[in-house]
Amino acid sequence: EDKVVQSPLSLVVHEGDTVTLNCSYEVTNFRSLLWYKQEKKAPTFLFMLTSSGIEKKSGRLSSILDKKELFSILNITATQTGDSAIYLCAVLIFGNEKLTFGTGTRLTIIP
């Protein structure tokens, strides 16, 4: 059975801190790993990672994939209160296009 596990489940930090969120996976026929941010409604897309070792960056957010060790990290630097959300990691499988989501990490930024 395909499995995606995120850690920590929740994290509370002060504004300005840097955080690292983890996502590990055990799936057959891996295609890509995606990161989403979910506030009150549906998830919004952050990154799609397909190749190992290539960092993707968008402002204060960055992410990288390690296909040998089967994990990805999402880094957020200089956190702001607007970064408070649930961050979801999902794995896309070859052949059926389905996304398998992890449990999510609830990030809370204290002003």
Binding window for other proteins (CB under 8 A); candidates: 17-25, 26-34, 56-64, 68-76: 26-34
Q: Does 84 bind other proteins (CB under 8 A)?
A: no
Both structure tokens of 11: 């994290």
| Of 1, 52, 51, 7, residue with least CA distance to 28 | 1
Please provide the size of the chain in residues: 111
Q: Does 61 bind other proteins (CB under 8 A)?
A: no
- Select from 25, 74, 91, 104 the one that contacts other proteins (CB under 8 A): 104
- Select from 34, 65, 74, 109 the one that contacts other proteins (CB under 8 A): 34
Cα angle 78-87-41, degrees, rounded to a multiple of 5: 115
